[in-house]
Amino acid sequence: MSTTNYGHKDLLTIQSIIASAAQTSLIDLFRKSTSNFKEDGSIVTNADIAMQDALAMALGEAFPDVAMLSEELSPQQQAAAMASGRDYWCLDPLDGTTNYQATMPLFSVSLALVSEAQVVLAVIYDPIRREFFSAIKDQGFWINNTRLERPIQPSKLSRSIAFIDFKRLPVNLRKGLVDDCPYKSQRNIGSCALEWAWLAAGRAQLLIHGSEKLWDYAAGCLLLSEAGGVSQTHKGEQVFVESLETRSVIAASNAELFELWSNRISQL
């Protein structure tokens, strides 16, 4: 399917599907879900699986030609979706599972549509605040279907809020940022997708992460780009690639801050 075949009507359909599934699979199960540990030690709840299944069914009915790559599928199923030659969804049905299981209301649903090796449509949904962060490639960024109106962004790192996951950073970066932090303050909210969405919205200005998976960054990359932000890996490469290998991230809410931020990181 050509990338030109997706538009705002499709976006509204996708948002309606996500909102309905999130109500029954995430909100109704909040504080009630059971959990298990995956082989890598991370948590998976019955809400993760319920949301994945609900979206796979509803999206499959609405967009039957699009394959599904979801976090909770096996690596073999994920690789098959990527190699199918079809457009595919890249889904994290519940980003922030640890928060969700701890009844902390900071979690999200992340969905990217990949066509011809590009993310062409993206939605990140915050079910608690009922906020949709959405973008279509080369068409813009919306919050709840309203064009983005960002707060004025600071011009200096020292006045910026940074999203930093210290746990996954190399020791030299971690130590450098702690010993001589260039930003005003830092946060780590436990949902990569929500951090991307809030960065795109201008609610924070800087982001650095050492190891994100495809479903962590796919939707967020497009949101940020369409909002006027910039991202790259620690090696200066574009973040989004069709790979199940993890990627590092340096990002900022605009180009000016990105230059300051990436230059500072390179010195550590």
139-161 tens-digit pLDDT: 999 999 999 888 999 999 999 99
Predicted confidence (pLDDT) at residue 213 exceeds the cutoff of 60? yes
Predicted confidence (pLDDT) at residue 13 exceeds the cutoff of 50? yes
Q: Which of 2-6, 8-12, 48-52, 182-186 has the lowest mean pLDDT?
A: 2-6
Share of residues in the chain with pLDDT > 70 (%) = 96
* Sheet containing strand 230-232, strands side by side: 185-187, 161-164, 206-212, 247-252, 230-232
Q: Which fold has domain 157-266?
A: D-Maltodextrin-Binding Protein; domain 2 (3.40.190)
Please measure the distance between the N-terminal and C-terminal CA atoms of the chain and give it in whole angstroms: 44
Cα-trace Rg, the chain? 18
Predicted confidence (pLDDT) at residue 255 exceeds the cutoff of 60? yes
- pLDDT, position 44: 74
Sequence spans of domains, the chain: 3-147, 157-266
Residues forming a β-bridge with 125: 109, 132
Quote the CA–CA distance of 87 and 185 in Å, as a whole number.
Answer: 40
Confidence (pTM): 0.94
- pLDDT, position 64: 97
- Band (1; pLDDT cuts 50, 70, 90): very low
- pLDDT, position 41: 59
Q: Do residues 204 and 191 make contact, with C-beta atoms less than 8 angstroms apart? A: no
Superfamily grouping for domain 3-147: Fructose-1,6-Bisphosphatase, subunit A, domain 1 (3.30.540.10)
- pLDDT, position 37: 67
Quote the CA–CA distance of 186 and 204 in Å, as a whole number.
Answer: 9
- pLDDT, position 209: 98
Sorted by sequence, the CB contacts under 8 Å of residue 163 that are 6+ apart come out as 186, 187, 188, 189, 195, 198, 199, 204, 206, 207, 208, 209
Strands 206-212 and 161-164: parallel
